[in-house]
């Protein structure tokens, strides 16, 4: 089964996560979702939430950047998905996807559970 790694090369945790996966024999397809050509759409983000087993996009919202784009405690899930699609910097990283499951790399070792 193919792995997809949502990667931001400017993030040290994302770089460490990729190295950990490679050290453990996982060579994922890398998706640089911060690049305009590889950004995630709202439907993809909803799918990722399901794969994470989450009921809300807040499960992988990067809180420290969310307020920069107007997301707060009163924001609806639809508003959050739209904001994530428009501003990928508010998506927590890294995320590893394998089939119908995904793992948020916080801590990075949790991604190895998909192996």
Catalytic residues: 11
Please name the residues in contact with 106: beta carbons below 8 A apart, sequence gap of 6 or more. Answer: 13, 92
Please name the residues in contact with 40: beta carbons below 8 A apart, sequence gap of 6 or more. Answer: 6, 33, 48, 84, 85, 88, 91
Q: How far apart are CA 96 and CA 109, in angstroms?
A: 11
Q: How far apart are CA 7 and CA 14, in angstroms?
A: 6
């Amino acid at each position: 089964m193919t792995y997809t790694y949502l990667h931001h090369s400017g993030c040290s945790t994302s770089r460490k996560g990729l190295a950990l996966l490679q050290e453990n024999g996982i060579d994922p397809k890398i998706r640089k979702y911060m690049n305009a050509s590889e950004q995630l759409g709202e439907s993809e983000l909803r799918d990722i939430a399901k794969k994470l087993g989450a009921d809300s996009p807040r499960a992988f919202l990067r809180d420290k950047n969310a307020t920069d784009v107007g997301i707060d405690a009163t924001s609806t899930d639809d508003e959050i998905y739209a904001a994530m699609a428009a501003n990928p910097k508010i998506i927590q990283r890294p995320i590893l996807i394998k089939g119908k499951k995904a793992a948020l790399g916080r801590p990075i070792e949790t991604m190895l559970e998909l192996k």
